[in-house]
Amino acid sequence: MLLEVRDLHVEFRTRDGVAKAVNGVNYGVDAGETLAVLGESGSGKSVTAQAVMGILDMPPGKITGGEILFQGKDLLKLKEEERRKVRGAEMAMIFQDALSSLNPVLSVGDQLGEMFTVHRGMSRKDARTKAIELMDRVRIPAAKERVRQFPHQFSGGMRQRIMIAMALALEPALIIADEPTTALDVTVQAQVMDLLAELQRELRMGLILITHDLGVVADVADRIAVMYAGRIVEQAPVHDIYKAPAHPYTKGLLESIPRLDQKGQELYAIKGLPPNLMNIPPGCAFNPRCPMAQDVCRTDVPPLHEVDDQRVSACHFWRECLNG
């Protein structure tokens, strides 16, 4: 395994109380593999990624337990200085909002070049050449001229390409993409996802794709981890999960989206709201919204049941869910 997150716990200590954002997450990615982490806002999908990257705001955040093994080393035991060498060079992140993640007063060439001057000790001139190469690689037209331009002079799709270029600069082994196409229009989203998938294949990188879009996941992922209230409720190969979900939350999500290829009747709607992380319900966190909930769900936290050797579900009644 390239990256393995084991029993990760993250809390946020705020004035109003402790928000339990991540409550025992386990997942792993291999080289060349795409893991999609699916969840709604507040499910802990981004916080987990930030902990892996080491960019979690601490305080108020606090990692209260677990291990993050990257190429065998536990990142949580590294000093900040060693951690910084990993970040950017070995693993990189692509953020949702390229406009606010790029520096508005530096040209894109300077920002791309910075990767090489800081991490590789290159001269500014060589770094500039590298920056142009990278821009070509993510298919930004007229890279030579545009390298001098500033982020606001690029369209949304082009900016996201620059983010991808920056992440790829040092050819990291792992890329974490946090909602990389959510802010983009569909036709541009398709261009960007295609590019990302192609580069990933070419460089045999591990990719963690964080998203709430079940359509994007179906298009590119090999495996999916579905998160709810800071836990993974189901993890499985992509084909299995769409064919027959083994957790009522996954099932509800799949049934609640309207489809392009059919005119539906009334949509299935998961009732209620996602829980408040300061006050997660006892037992299974999904029980107040679950159509299958029984007494045991209100008292016992479901363990991760092994559905088969590639698949886990955190539901007491995964068998029933799978069969109906």
Partner 1 sequence: MAEPILEVSGLVKHYPLTQGIVFKKQIGAVKAVDGVDFALDKGETLGIVGESGCGKSTVAKMLVNLEKPTAGSIKYKGEDITALSGRALRTVRRNIQMVFQDPYTSLNPRMTVGDIIGEPYEIHPEVAPKGDRRRKVQDLLDVVGLNPEYINRYPHQFSGGQRQRIGIARGLALRPEIIVADEPVSALDVSVQAQVINLLDRLQTEFELSYLFIAHDLSIVRHISDRVGVMYLGRIVEIGRDAEIYDHPTHPYTQALLSAVPVPDPEAREHRERIILSGDVPSPTNVPSGCRFRTRCWKAQERCELEVPLLAVPAEFRLMSGPAAHDSACHFAEEKQVVPPEEPGRQQEEAGEHGNGPG
Binding site for partner 1 (CB under 8 A): 32, 34, 40-41, 155, 157-158, 185-191, 193-194, 197, 200-201, 212-222, 237-240, 242, 252-254, 256-264, 266-271, 273-274, 310
- CA distance linking residue 183 with residue 80, whole number of Å: 32
Give Cβ neighbours of residue 42 (< 8 Å, ≥ 6 apart): 229, 274, 277
Question: Measured from the CB atom, is 252 or 283 closer to partner 1?
Answer: 252
Q: How far is the CB of 218 from partner 1 (least distance, A)?
A: 4
Question: Measured from the CB atom, is 68 or 196 closer to partner 1?
Answer: 196
For Cα atoms 176, 178, 180, give the angle at the middle one, nearest 5 degrees: 105
Question: Measured from the CB atom, is 79 or 263 closer to partner 1?
Answer: 263
First to last CA, the chain: 34
Question: Measured from the CB atom, is 3 or 86 closer to partner 1?
Answer: 3
Which residues pair with residue 25 across a beta bridge?
A: 8
Q: How far is the CB of 110 from partner 1 (least distance, A)?
A: 23
- CA distance linking residue 89 with residue 120, whole number of Å: 9
Question: Measured from the CB atom, is 111 or 211 closer to partner 1?
Answer: 211
For Cα atoms 96, 102, 107, give the angle at the middle one, nearest 5 degrees: 145
Question: Measured from the CB atom, is 65 or 281 closer to partner 1?
Answer: 281
Beta strands across the sheet bearing 3-14:
17-29, 3-14, 61-70, 73-74
Q: How far is the CB of 282 from partner 1 (least distance, A)?
A: 21
Q: How far is the CB of 312 from partner 1 (least distance, A)?
A: 15
**In this structure, which amino acid lies at residue 285?**
A
Q: How far is the CB of 242 from partner 1 (least distance, A)?
A: 5
Q: How far is the CB of 2 from partner 1 (least distance, A)?
A: 15
Contact 56, 10 (CB under 8 A): yes
Q: The tokens 């959510």 sit on which residue?
A: 182
- CA distance linking residue 211 with residue 177, whole number of Å: 9
Question: Measured from the CB atom, is 122 or 190 closer to partner 1?
Answer: 190
- Strand, coil or helix: 37: strand
Q: The tokens 């795409």 sit on which residue?
A: 34
Q: How far is the CB of 227 from partner 1 (least distance, A)?
A: 13
Contact 240, 311 (CB under 8 A): yes
Question: Measured from the CB atom, is 254 or 280 closer to partner 1?
Answer: 254
- CA distance linking residue 70 with residue 90, whole number of Å: 9
Q: How far is the CB of 45 from partner 1 (least distance, A)?
A: 12
